[in-house]
Structure 1
Amino acid sequence: MTAVSPRRTLRRLAAGVATVSLALLLAPADAAHADDSIGVVPTTTAGVPLPPLDQSQKGQGEVSPADKDFVIKVRLAGLWEIMASNMAETKSDDPRIVAIARNIGKEHVALDKMDRDVAKQLGIDLPSQPNSDQQYWLSEMHNANPATFDQIYIDRLRAAHGKIFPAIATIRSSTRNDSVRKLAQASNQFVMTHMTLLEDSNIVNYGALPTAPAPAAAGKGPVPVDGQMVAAAQSNTGGLPGVSQTVVFLVLAAALVAGVFTTMRIVRSR
């Protein structure tokens, strides 16, 4: 059997360590946390994912005044947008607008049922008629002729969806109640779909939409960070505030590679 020289052994060890380190550097940082068991939620007849809701149990978690207001707003959105979309199917002469309205109407029917179920679980009283602003928009559409109807329908619904979109995000990220969270999740998916459908009409008057408010602290970044967020981030780093365990591991691997090559140089010099 041929003896292996120390230099050759060190070269092989260095090559092996370098290969492993390179694989770690190229691998996705969150690969170790990947979960292949994520389920697929049911879909509505229009194809939009809709989280399941257990009708036999009351949603777990505290219900805030903002949660109650959100459930009511979802109901109001459904009331007038279903009426508006039904009107569009009969008044519009544009097949694209008719198809958009049909999809939006179907999806709001599904969302409205989920909203009423959540309200029943949590004991929230819901309105049965659109509010005064929504009734005015409906009257605009009712009085419009086919030449002006499409623009009114698209612009009013696009503006309404843009207004409720940030409200959904606030509830989705802050609610303590399971049922309200599922409703917000479904609402977010519906509203995103509806804004895209309305914009696909190619007649949205973007200049008439309200602009975003100026940031409270300009230049501080797009995501506000508070004490709770910092504490949560630090609690997940294994005692090293602001440093992830993955970064620490990669630094140690790089140090090991550097040590091996240094040892090889010392052996060669001897």
Structure 2
Amino acid sequence: MGGAVSLTLGSLLYPAMLGVQKINSAPSRIVAHPATGPVTAADRDFVVKTRAADLWEYPVGEKALKKGTTKAVRSAGEQLVAGDAALDAACRQVADQLGITLPNQPSPQQQGFESRLNGENGKQFDTDMATTLRTTNGQFLTTIAAIRTTTTNSLVRALADRANNTVLNHIAAVEKTGLVDFTQVLPQETNSPNLPAQSLTPPPAIAGQPEVVLTPPANTTVSPSPTVG
């Protein structure tokens, strides 16, 4: 990121105790004043949450492409890989322009989802993948709506629009598998997890560590991330 932007927006380093389900205790607090509009703590947290979601869903999509036992599951995997790669490119672009520091790993909770799915195969993997992704994307849709209706920063607004389209695509893809267990999804969507904040917080990137880049598949039909700003 540019030196001038870094000096102006240095306060946008995401807080160590940012929760994926519970955002900053003062979400309307303005943390920077770039030309694209004021950036609030909630805006900053949303950019970090988007990055964390991409980081855990992308490898799950790769697993679905390899381990899925039905065409619909493998198709959902393809949508996850392509969609998260494109959304992450847009997320990193916005973060760079606003001076927001992004994580290179998802939250411990999200890493737990991925670890569980890594150990599963066959129909169990298919069903758990579809149900887990339907739940987490349904929860994230609420977060997107809240930011889209409150942010006054044009870059965050554009990212929310793209995230909304991506999440709806993911929801449709996993529902088409016919394997979503809605008896699990609906209660979890409406109840915040009773977990400590550190379990919901993506760990800060290590200084000097190369930024993780999610590579879109060569034959993707998902449009590339638009230029924003």
Match of residue 206 from structure 1: 182
SS in 2 for 1:201: coil
In the alignment, which residue of structure 2 is the partner of 1:126?
102
Confirm or deny: 8 A CA contact 2:43 2:156 kept in the other structure: yes
Contact 2:95 2:101 in 1 (8 A): yes
What SS does the corresponding residue of 2:103 show, helix, strand or coil? coil
CA contact (8 A) 1:59 1:121 kept: no
Displacement after TM superposition at 1:111 (Å)? 0.3
2:105 partner SS = coil
Following TM superposition, where does structure 1 have runs of at least 4 consecutive aligned residues deviating by more than 2 angstroms? 210-214
Kindly indicate whether the alpha-carbon contact (under 8 Å) linking 1:168 and 1:187 is maintained by their aligned counterparts in 2.
yes
Contact 2:64–2:76 (CA<8 Å) still a contact in 1?
no
CA distance in structure 2 between the aligned counterparts of 1:92 and 1:109, rounded to whole angstroms: 20
Q: Is the 8 A contact 2:64 2:74 kept in 1?
A: yes
Q: Deviations over 1:32-57 (max 9, x none)?
A: xxxxxxxxxxxxxxxxxxxxxxxxxx
| TM alignment of 1:1-80, pairs within 5 A | 60-80=36-56
How far residue 213 of structure 1 moved from its aligned partner, in angstroms, is: 5.7
C-alpha RMSD of the superposition: 1.6
Give, in whole Å, the separation in 2 of the partners of 1:131 and 1:187: 18
- Aligned-residue offset at 1:104: 1.9
1:210: how far off?
3.5
Q: Distance in 1 between matches of 2:85 and 2:102?
A: 15
Question: Which residue of the partner structure matches residue 87 of structure 1?
Answer: 63
For residues 223-265 of structure 1, give each alpha carbon's deviation from its aligned partner in whole angstroms, at most 9, with x where no partner exists: xxxxxxxxxxxxxxxxxxxxxxxxxxxxxxxxxxxxxxxxxxx
| 2:9 corresponds to | none
One-letter amino acid matched to 1:189: N
Query: Which whole-Å deviations, capped at 9, do the CAs of 1:106-145 have from their partners, x for residues lacking one?
Result: 0110000000000001011111011111111111111112
The gaps in structure 2 that reach 5 residues or longer are: 1-33, 192-229
Quote the residue 1:115 is aligned against.
91
Q: Distance in 1 between matches of 2:148 and 2:134?
A: 21
1:100 deviates by 1.3
1:59–1:181: structure 2 CA closer, same or farther, 3 Å change rule?
farther
Contact in 2 for aligned 1:82/1:105 (Cα 8 Å): yes
1:106 to 57, 60, 82: 82
Contact residue 59 and residue 122 of structure 1 kept, 8 A:
no
Alignment partner, residue 154 of structure 1: 130
Count residues with an aligned counterpart. 157
Letter in 1 for 2:56: W
Tell me the distance in 2 between the aligned counterparts of 1:127 and 1:190: 20
Percent identity, aligned pairs only, is 34
- 2-structure distance, mates of 1:185, 1:147: 34
TM-score, length basis structure 1: 0.56
The structure with the larger Rg is 1
The structure with the largest helix share of the pair is: 1
